[in-house]
A and B are shown apart, each in its own frame.
Chain A
Amino acid sequence: MSDPSKGGSQTIVPAEPASHRRESSTKEKAWEEQTLAPTLERSPERQSGFTTISNYPVRRLYTPTNLADWSPERDLGYPGEPPYTRGIHSTMHRGRLWTMRQFAGFGAAEDTNQRFRYLLAQGQTGLSTAFDLPTLMGYDSDHPLSEGEVGKCGVAISSLADMEVLFDQIPLADVTTSMTINSPAAIIWAMYLAVAEKQGADWKKISGTLQNDILKEYIAQKEYIYPPEPSMRLVIDTFEFGVKNTPKFNTISISGYHIREAGSTASQELAFTLRDGLEYVEWGMRRGLDVDEFVPQLSFFFNAHSDFFEEIAKYRAARRIWNKAMVERYKAKNPRTWALRFHTQTAGCSLTAQQPYNNVVRTALQALAAVLGGTQSLHTNSLDEAWALPTEFAATIALRTQQIIAHETGVTNTVDPLGGSYFVETLTNEIERGAWDYIEKIDALGGMVAAIERGYPQREIAEASYRYQVALDKKEKIMVGVNDYVSQEKPLDTLQIDETVAHRQAERLRKLRADRSSDEVARRLAALRKATKSKDNLMPYIFEAVKSYATLGEICDAMRETFGTYEEVAIT
């Protein structure tokens, strides 16, 4: 292990996990001598060693001796009960399938509204909104820095007026919606709640998920506006508001997805995400919130990468770690606090621009790992996403992939079908142990905010990502169609977003600013500005500002004045 205070860095991977140094049984020894040894002499294995995609060593064979210290009653338990290794519901996917929730967003609100309604008509069971970069960074579509970016990576939302168009004819009382927004999460959520209110939907009953996970922005995705301290205040404000007003809404989706996409290993993804989770719990408790009241509204979001068993073990270990931390660290008493619920997305970084139709196969296998790992909801990537946002054609195949897994493969017929596999149980134990090592190291640094400020997780991820690139360049790891099995294919037809979206948005904003009551907007923004300097929960002020049709950019600016903005020290 490395000393995090020094520049050098080394991923936490036990060189030889304890379970690899176990005594073989007499029968196994006999097999090694009589059957294995002659085979190896005749034809050696393809490689001197085998590892997961995260470089974790994998043995030739797993047997009961790998699980010598393992107790099925203690470590596996039963589904729906601690330690939740087998899943958080007693009947899992026999009772209810996971939510098929395809992430979508492009162009202006009316473009995405049309895609949403199409996906719901195709049997999708939940919505998930992608916002464009100006929205994610708290700029209106007509801000100079938004030039060239409006509607490109998601939908452009600059005010409540856009949000009303986005959810036009979509009943928020019935459909659950996930919103991938972080720094301006409180504002976008306020817009959503305002639309729900206008539709007459009961806040106590509506459900959905706000990503709202600022810590992983500093660590990996880098879409932050304010420094950590005021950003965390905003997050805890939404927790507090959610407990009182929207008990069924997930006020955060603590995300490993982006950490993995930035190049982390599976165990880093797991450890940094769960340690982020503990950080939010601690900040919430410091605010005076009851752990058994607000934590049940915290959800998680993991990546489904290509190493099949490593991913399944990761999800199983995640549930076990969270349960243990909630019980031991925070003395939680509510089973809903103990049970880790998660969304999964297949790995965008595993998609290849070359031979893009192969991505359908990759995505299907990754999705299968997520299902076998007990996911609560799932997004499957589209085959063209190494090039652009998906076309309707590509997005439909991605959704159909989930429907095929659900209805044709039979993997949903029993709970945790891999439970008891010597390999999967051993890997689950080892990934759990590796994650605890990282978690304790971050504890020792003073928590995740302190670790981020020292660049610790950022450096660990950069190291892992570079090692993976070197392995690809040396062909130690193979990506089909990229560094082996290369062939020429004709380019795909991809979705194009042109600049007319930006012009439409600019015109809509001009009209909005002319039509609204500028006095009321000024009053609401002044009240918010004043509240930023107090200890008040900011959600009610943001909600009132949103309802006066103050824009996203104006509301973010009001908070920028007090909170300032964050610049990272870039680590390369």
Chain B
Amino acid sequence: MTHRYPTILAIVLMALGLLVPVGETGWIGSGSALACGLLSSMAAAFCLLPGLRGREHVVSGAALLLGAAAPLLLLRGAGPFGVEAPGLWLFVAGLMLFLWQRLEVLARLPGRGIAALIAPGLFGVAVLYLWQIMVVGFAVPQVLLPSPAQVGHVLATRMDILWPDFRQTFLKAVVAGFAIGSSLGFVVALAADRVPFLKRGVLPLCDLMSAVPIVGIAPIMVMWFGFDWHSKAAVVAVVTFFPMLVNTLAGLSSADAMQRDLMHSYAATHLQTLIKLRLPSALPFIFNALKINSTLALISAIVAEFFGSPILGLGFRISAEVARLNVDVVWAVIAIAALAGSVLYGTIAAIERACTFWHPSYRN
């Protein structure tokens, strides 16, 4: 057990936190919080006993849950305390150290599929939890940083305005622009690949474009295509065009010379070589471009809305609510955008897995 000492330190911190005064009333003021804290430290200490085997995870999970509940109960009863509650923060520090030790243990376990998601899931929950405790405990003004609970409340109650925003920005502008830009990039790449002269002219220029802040064309597109989603789709199309073009071109030349010579010796036509050899070997590159584009698309659509939009859209909502200091709504919009971006990325990654199962990076 190499992890004994940090775990012992964590338990000592938690127990110490329960003894040190918290505000004026202290832990005594909230009986349930004190009970949870005590039970949690005892469960954590129980984890150190030898011979627990599989039950260790259940016990440590209980310790974490109870430990997380204690500060929440305490803050609901009396908070905010701020710096006058050293006991509370000692307890939280101990809890986080304990969690870290559990993460170390989890990282050692062989995990695939769902099991591999436990560690990052725990980490994410811990960050949200710390955020909540800190914001409530130090009474951070909502204008600076709302707590996750407030953001969740907005997400639950204001869907009537957030859903049309999402539809405007994501389902209309991003999807249309993404499809147009990516397919155009793909087609131009095929054309440039067919004509080497064109390729030698286009490729260096497109490489240069990667150093250029293309999002800057947003005001021009808004002037040309109007305030509605068409202008945003145009920006997204231009932004996603170049990564697709460059990556597809790189992918098409990734099939090695031996394989191409083989196709040549079969007297395969250009089209046959393309479909049977070069496009399949370009697939990892094409999916790479699609993944890059999935995050780029959302960002550029939202930025483009800063330059003018009808009274809906995620970018519009952000700039409007910032001006009214409704920061909780802004964070709710960000949460939606992040979720949408992750889902888009995840979908593309899943399709990639299904299409390029033969690639070395997916072989076991």
Chains A and B form a bound pair: no
